[in-house]
Amino acid sequence: MAGILLEGDHVKDEERAAHARALAAKEREKSLRRAAEAKARVGPQKLGAALQFPGTAISDRVVEPGPFTCKLAKGDHLRIIDLEGQQAVDFLVYDAENHENRYNAANTIKINRSVYVGKGFKLVSDLGEVLMTVVEDTVGHHDTIGGCCSTEVNHMRYGIKGTPSCRTNFITALRAHGMEPRDIPANINFFMNVPVRHDGSTEIVDGLSEPGDYVDLRAEKDVLVVISNCPQQFNPCSGWNPTPVRIIEWHPSRGK
Ligand SMILES: [Zn+2]
Q: What distance in angstroms lies between residue 148's CA and the mean position of ligand 1's atoms?
A: 5
Give the integer Cα–Cα distance in Å for 195 and 189.
Answer: 13
Which residues fall within 8 angstroms of residue 253, CB to CB, at 6 or more apart?
Answer: 54, 55, 56
Q: What distance in angstroms lies between residue 174's CA and the mean position of ligand 1's atoms?
A: 16
Q: What distance in angstroms lies between residue 163's CA and the mean position of ligand 1's atoms?
A: 10
Q: What distance in angstroms lies between residue 252's CA and the mean position of ligand 1's atoms?
A: 31
Q: What distance in angstroms lies between residue 230's CA and the mean position of ligand 1's atoms?
A: 4
Q: What distance in angstroms lies between residue 253's CA and the mean position of ligand 1's atoms?
A: 34
Q: What distance in angstroms lies between residue 44's CA and the mean position of ligand 1's atoms?
A: 27
Q: What is the pTM of this model?
A: 0.96
Q: What distance in angstroms lies between residue 242's CA and the mean position of ligand 1's atoms?
A: 9
DSSP the chain: -TT-S---TT--HHHHHHHHHHHHHHHHHHHHHHHHHHHHHHHHHHHHHHT--SEEEEEEEEE-SEEEEEEE-TT-EEEEEESSSS--EEEEEEETTEEEEEB-HHHHHHHHT-SEE-TT-EEEBTTS-EEEEEEEESS--EESSS----HHHHHHHHS-SS---HHHHHHHHHHTTT--GGG----EEET-B--B-TTS-B--B-----TTEEEEEEESSSEEEEEEE----SSGGGTTS---EEEEEEEEPTT-
Q: What distance in angstroms lies between residue 256's CA and the mean position of ligand 1's atoms?
A: 35
Q: What distance in angstroms lies between residue 127's CA and the mean position of ligand 1's atoms?
A: 27
**pLDDT at position 8, please?**
77
**pLDDT at position 1, please?**
42
**pLDDT at position 3, please?**
60
**pLDDT at position 162, please?**
97
Q: What distance in angstroms lies between residue 255's CA and the mean position of ligand 1's atoms?
A: 38
pLDDT tens digit at each of 256 positions of the chain: 446 777 777 889 999 999 999 999 999 999 999 999 999 999 999 999 999 999 999 999 999 999 999 999 999 999 999 999 999 999 999 999 999 999 999 999 999 999 999 999 999 999 999 999 999 999 999 999 999 999 999 999 999 999 999 999 999 999 999 999 999 999 999 999 999 999 999 999 999 999 999 999 999 999 999 999 999 999 999 999 999 999 999 999 976 5
Q: What distance in angstroms lies between residue 192's CA and the mean position of ligand 1's atoms?
A: 10
Q: What distance in angstroms lies between residue 173's CA and the mean position of ligand 1's atoms?
A: 14
